[in-house]
A and B are shown apart, each in its own frame.
Chain A
Amino acid sequence: MRVYLDNNATTIVDPKVFKEMEPYFVQSYGNPNSLHEFGSETHPALRKAMGQLYCGLNADDQDDIVVTSCATESNNWVLKGVYHDHILNGEKDHIITSEVEHPAIISTCKFLETLGVKVTYLPVNEKGIIEANDLKSFITEKTALVTIMWANNETGMLFPIEEISQICKEAGVLFHSDAVQAVGKIPVDLKKLDIDFLSFSAHKFHGPKGVGGLYIKNSQPLTSLLHGGEHMGGRRSGTLNVAGIVGMGEALELAVKNLSFENNNVRKLRDKLEDEILKLDDVFVVGSRDERTPNTILVSVKGIEGEAMLWDLNKNGIAASTGSACASEDLESNPVMEAIGAEADLAHTALRLSLSRFTTEEEIDYTVGILNNAVKRLRAISSTYSYAPDWHDSKL
């Protein structure tokens, strides 16, 4: 049996989405900007897809939803655009973010620091989220932008986006949210919330890879990242990815239709898996369930190094992930675990399980069995587990 529990990394393309995309590869392959029927016959599908995006995010017609190649591009665009428009001219010099953002934000901020931008990386609390009140004290007259993720990719923890957006509005500071892990999993209503820029990516909600978007409130100015032709109203050049846009529109519509399924059925399976995991001795799950996206569990399994766990799970057909030491090229421990300030031990024992609406109960039951065996085997090998008698008395 193969079980895919790494849906925060990427998801299966919904077969319905794939079916919608199919005509735009071999049949209607024209360039939408061309003055012939090959081009113009793509327009109805593109218009429909744009409608699906505006509807899915509940964006106003006066707002822009610009299709990009991925959320990394969207994030780069906002940060570098704000740098160009508000910092390079000396008007402002400061950006605020959190220390648990995705590398697409952190690395871009580090790059901007080399250009003289001051960046504040807000610390997170023991649940792995920032406190909205902390933010207030860091905003100055020179702050150009606040960029805070909506939901964390590792823990699934939801950030207080409404409060943050209010604080930014009151302070007159631009607010961007990397909503990659939120869109399609929880309601995102851009008429209700005052957010200037919002990034999202199709492949996180059963759409295709290589297509994402940036929401720009009120079509406000933001210098382009990609210069070239007059695509996307001149905001983002590059021949339109017709199949990708069609796929993203369809995927978002389906995801939004399935939000209650996500919140009930996916959550139920997630909770079932979490209940079973918590029956194990000496495990620790980050954050309470109602404060997380309904599909995510980040668990520390005492005495078992993350990659060793992935090895045993993978051997049995189960895909999960860990940000911990040995699994990644750069050998660093899970940055979110470190930011949370959890016991250093936890940083190397993190295991992330992320479900989707395609996950079945049978798969969860199978996973529980395999997980139990893996824990038994690896703890028998572990030199730290059996030699931590005090562990049982600790708060974790």
Chain B
Amino acid sequence: MAKNDLIGGSIWEEYSQKVQDLMNNPQHMGEITDEEAKEKGLKLVVADFGAESCGDAVRLYWAVDEETNIIKDAKFKSFGCGTAIASSDTMANLCTGKTVDEAVKITNIDVEFAMRDNPDTPAVPPQKMHCSVMAYDVIKAAAASYKGVDAESFETAVIVCECARVTLGTIKEVIRINDLHTVEEITNYTKAGAFCKSCIKPGGHEDREHYLVDILKDTRTEMEMEKMKALADAKISGSSSELSFDDFTMVQKLKSVEAAIDKDIRPMLIMDGGNLEILDIKDTDDGNTDIYIRYLGACNGCASSSTGTLFAIESVLREECSPKIRVLPI
């Protein structure tokens, strides 16, 4: 938010002249019939994408020369806003004259770029980028129909943000490499989620298979798990230098204290007919860790339990775990 965002503008003001012209007079709007295609010895391909209930739907017609696989003519029909109409028209235009394999390589980013008045100014505002995605999807559907394959086969990676064409792999990678904690950071690094925002979280313009919030959460969880595993491994190998007692969770602190007591303290107490139990463990505001214990058996009431024995326990724990430990018998 800043000066330019406070009084919202009309999204129409952000449409390029090309977009506006195509909205008013689409060049490739219409149908190709089977007869028309046959007359010219071409194969008719018809593909649909989207639905009225989603707010966008497009139907693409190709007349393809089966010898060369060249798309000789392309037409469209579209249910959608003006930018959807302009994008569909541009997409049909870009298909014409290309082979089917070449056409499949046309992305929504190519469509948007073709509608720019100058190379540096986007043709549509961010939230309208979504409209050109459909143009890309319907090409894949048409090519799949022509080749008799599944449309999914043209997509090798999982795309999370279709507007900016960002893959699941890329998003996970930037989270890990840059230690990202928020969706805004992901958007800043990758542009994923910067346009129609559907991929950020459920409840947007359209339902998605993957959402940035979930990817972030899952990746962060994975990273935490890996950190814990590294810690556990380091302990086994005796080189627990990576994480100090201070970084432990409460459970880890308790376990580490228990382990030290079992190893160096309890055997001595038991020899004298006594024992102890840990009642509680707390981090204090001044940065210490207080361990509350209760003496059992012979230790209970023993004169040295508040002097020599206590000092011995404390010094073992300070040595083994953390110099900030205080032991408080109750």
Contacts and interface: CB of A to CB of B under 8 A. Distances in A.
B81 A345 contact: no
Interface stretch (B23-31, B32-40, B248-256): B23-31
Interface in B70-98: 76-85
Interface string A288-315: 0000000000000001111110010011
A331 B26 contact: no
B234 interface: no
B79 A305 contact: yes
Contact of A332 (B48, B81, B205): B205
B199 to A, nearest CB: 13
A305 B53 contact: no
B81 A383 contact: no
B242 to A, nearest CB: 39
B239 to A, nearest CB: 46
A311 to B, nearest CB: 5
B57 to A, nearest CB: 5
B130 interface: yes
Contact of B26 (A315, A329, A381): A381
B8 interface: yes
B127 A329 contact: yes
Contacts of B82: 307-308, 311
A383 B48 contact: yes
Interface residues of A, number: 32
Contacts of A380: 29
Contacts of B59: 383, 387
A315 B24 CA distance: 9
Interface in A344-396: 344-345, 347-349, 380-387
B51 to A, nearest CB: 8
A331 B76 CA distance: 23
Nearest to A387: B59
Given A325-B205, A381-B85, A305 B80 contact: yes
Interface in A65-80: none
A303 B8 CA distance: 29
A380 B53 CA distance: 19
B55 A383 contact: no
A325 B198 CA distance: 13
Contacts of B11: 327, 329
B77 A386 contact: yes
A304 B57 CA distance: 11
A308 B81 contact: yes
B128 interface: yes
A324 interface: yes
Contacts of B23: 308, 311
Given A329-B127, A382-B79, A303 B205 contact: no
A303 B29 CA distance: 15
A152 interface: no
Given A311-B12, A345-B53, A385-B79, A331 B127 contact: yes
Contacts, number: 87
Report the interface size class on chain B.
35 or more
Contact of B204 (A331, A382, A385): A331
A333 interface: yes
Most B-side CB within 10 Å, residue of A314, A325, A384: A384
A315 B82 CA distance: 12
Could you say which of B8, B12, B29, B57 has the most chain A C-beta atoms within 10 Å of its C-beta? B57
B194 interface: no
Contacts of A311: 12, 23, 81-82
From B26, B78, B80, name the one whose CB has the most chain A CB atoms within 10 angstroms: B80
Contact of B78 (A327, A345, A383): A383
B122 to A, nearest CB: 16
Interface string A104-145: 000000000000000000000000000000000000000000
Contacts of B84: 305, 308, 326
B52 A384 contact: yes
A218 B130 CA distance: 53
Contacts of A307: 81-82
Contacts of A315: 24
Nearest to A309: B81
A326 B77 contact: no
Contacts of A305: 55-56, 79-81, 84
B229 to A, nearest CB: 37
Contacts of B77: 381-383, 386
B143 interface: no
Given A331-B204, A381-B26, 19 more contacts: A303-B79, A305-B55, A305-B79, A305-B80, A305-B81, A308-B80, A308-B81, A315-B24, A325-B205, A326-B131, A327-B11, A331-B55, A333-B55, A347-B55, A348-B55, A383-B57, A383-B78, A384-B79, A387-B59
14 contacts: A305-B56, A308-B23, A311-B12, A311-B23, A325-B205, A326-B128, A326-B131, A331-B130, A331-B197, A343-B53, A348-B53, A382-B79, A386-B77, A387-B59
Interface of B: 8, 11-12, 23-24, 26, 29, 48, 51-59, 76-85, 127-128, 130-131, 196-198, 204-205
The 5 tightest CB contacts between A and B, nearest first, are A344-B53, A326-B81, A383-B77, A307-B81, A325-B55
